Chains A and B, each alone.
Chain A
């Protein structure tokens, strides 16, 4: 077919930001499918709970200490997370580097607290179905934390290399903060499931 040029695209930027970036949409879509996985696991928890004569089953309710500490850290991390996102938007390299180091710490510390949270459940995964589902919920979220921390660490290292000064990388940092927000957001309903019975 013969062609007739009707538009010139050469003025367009070489990289889209925010909603003009496929990576941003990719992050959003990954949240949707991971979110549906989490939602289903919560449904499994509620389903098994609805069948059980008593819930928690065959164990005292979990100790509240480690879960509270972890939740407090995750919520507190939203402040630096938001700041990093803003700095990345302004492509302020110095602040982004500092912010990413801070966010790496905010990622690692909850993993340490998590080591105390599993024993605080007061039963094992193979004790009964209740144990299985709370361990799996906590395990799923731990995997979530681990992957995002690994991602943050790699990104932090990258921002200290020659590849850092690039608006694509700042976009990656913004997407990473978006995803961290999701990691925190998914924790809240899981927290409510695991610790709700202990509070009531």
Chain B
């Protein structure tokens, strides 16, 4: 760009005009195509979150169907075949379409705001990720509606899922749905790592990064190292089923335990891919409710990193009953118990934070307390099943069902509910109802514990998981009825939550910039934030920017307003290195996602779909990356 036509900088423009000029450059165009082409991380993040909650509702309805069926012996609501589909759909849906995506979605929305930047890195990849995720979800649910829903359990063990025992396309639907969701998750992981490394506000050194962002950074590395395992597994399963390879066929030198190793090498880190973001949320929310900075920033970060590393050394504890060598089992028992140490360090840091603070019992804080109680119980049964003899006894029983629901709902869903109540005002501009929120917290906490605690006992009494019914002569009917009735309380809590979320979007109290008086950067801009997030990039001088700088906010100026420009800073010290451009809206990621979806769905039926399907994928990718001569291309 020559000096003669030097482009407009924010310093050249009167303050009152700046917002309008930036909004013109950064806004999403109105209308249908504008909505498809947007690359605004906030729009995509909100979509991602809303879609994930739709899947939560669908998965929850399946759970209610199962509880209706099991409420009394010899229930006849659903057939055994449909029951197989229902529990598989429930698990696969909750893990792959709700839990992981919703955590990544929160990060897509929050991480750029917390870092003081204007968009996520690779925003078009972000749009692509959402469309691929949506396509995978539609694939799974449409198949279910067509009686083609997978029926092999959410971990799809061979030989049951292999060509011999699962003819038809149900298992392939499951395996390919995994491919969709893993592509989406890997894309977000790449974006988050690069955003955290390169787009932090000046002055935000590594030891000033908000803890939720640290959690998402560690999580993203887990995604990148663990998810390829499930892609290798699901792809080789599809190959076994479609073109007759023998990865899992013992008669031709394959091995069925190979599946379990690959699946759980992904599957155990997966638990932490869901749990770590939740811990990050808690660390980031707590200070606002106890009016002091979080205790033990460094141990909290180190615990997250430690959990991340240890999570790769636990997978065999899912396989204790497969007859592996004793020494191996002992090693994995030790590592499974060891991970309780960093988890405990986190808990004690939070307790210390609350202890030393002045707690304000608002709805998000109530959910945090619900998390403590529930997650600690789930962690205790976790230490129990880490021991081989106990695990052998309760393997595949309702004890395990109780354990992982305590960990996942207690450890991830309660913090998520807290996070929604906490950040909803930022996303929507209005508060959710405090009065309804208390009811939601109470109903879900009580309903959850009443519904799931008795499952421990049912498991110890020998009730296996995944049975579609049981006979009258086993002593399980009383507790099962109690569990099913309690589920209604839990469901009522969720129903109230959704009513509140929808109602508050129109009728909630206006939130203002920082309704909780919280210290991190996302609260330094309007609610909801403008398309460009910050008119001027904030400059960070401490760990709690909005508390450290009472009065006025230090900012940096000198960015262009005629193109989407943001600040690139150095990895360790966040020293400004360049002002780079951020891509404009584009419809190509949408077409690329359509082309990729067509290829992936086609490949369930014919290997040639990969060959012919790759051509439109290549064309759409060229359209995506080919320079358009916009000011964003200036260098």
Q: Which residues of A contact B (CB under 8 A)?
A: 1-16, 19-22, 25-26, 29-30, 32-34, 36-37, 40-41, 44, 47-48, 51-52, 57-58, 125-133, 135-136, 150, 154, 158, 163, 166-169
Contact = CB atoms under 8 A, between A and B. Distances in A.
Interface string B219-256: 00000110111011000100110011111010011110
Contacts of B536: 3, 5
A29 B190 contact: yes
Given A9-B567, A12-B576, A12-B578, 4 more contacts: A4-B555, A132-B239, A158-B626, A166-B635
B552 A21 contact: no
A100 to B, nearest CB: 16
Given A12-B579, A22-B194, A126 B228 contact: no
Contact of A33 (B190, B546, B568): B190
Interface in B551-569: 551-559, 567-568
Give chain A's interface secondary structure class: helix
A19 B227 CA distance: 26
Given A22-B198, A22-B199, A48-B255, A5 B557 contact: yes
Interface string B1-33: 100000001010000000000000000000000
B108 interface: no
Interface of B: 1, 9, 11, 121-122, 186, 189-190, 193-194, 197-199, 202, 224-225, 227-229, 231-232, 236, 239-240, 243-247, 249, 252-255, 258, 261-262, 265, 513, 524, 535-537, 539, 546, 551-559, 567-568, 570-571, 576-581, 618, 622, 625-627, 629, 633-635
A168 B635 contact: yes
27 contacts: A1-B513, A1-B553, A3-B536, A3-B552, A5-B555, A7-B539, A7-B558, A11-B558, A19-B571, A20-B568, A21-B580, A22-B198, A25-B197, A29-B190, A32-B224, A33-B227, A37-B232, A48-B254, A57-B253, A126-B245, A129-B255, A136-B239, A158-B626, A158-B627, A163-B626, A163-B633, A168-B635
Given A128-B253, A129-B247, A6 B580 contact: no
Contacts of A40: 228-229, 232, 262, 265
A8 B568 contact: no
A48 B252 contact: no
Contacts of A11: 558
Contacts of B626: 154, 158, 163
A130 B253 contact: yes
Contacts of B557: 5, 7-10
A158 B628 CA distance: 12
Contacts of A133: 247
A7 B556 contact: yes
Contacts of A36: 224-225, 228-229
A149 B336 CA distance: 44
Contacts of B197: 25
A136 to B, nearest CB: 7
Given A7-B576, A14-B1, A25-B194, A33 B224 contact: yes
B577 A48 contact: no
Given A1-B553, A15-B581, A52-B253, A128 B246 contact: yes
B572 to A, nearest CB: 11
A3 B553 contact: yes
Nearest to B228: A37
A58 B513 CA distance: 70
Contacts of A6: 539, 554-556
Contact of B633 (A41, A48, A131, A168): A168
A14 B239 contact: no
Given A3-B552, A48-B253, A48-B255, A22 B193 contact: no
Contact of B568 (A16, A51, A169): A16
A5 B227 CA distance: 44
A38 B571 CA distance: 27
A44 B580 contact: no
B253 A25 contact: no
Contact of B198 (A25, A37, A47, A128): A25
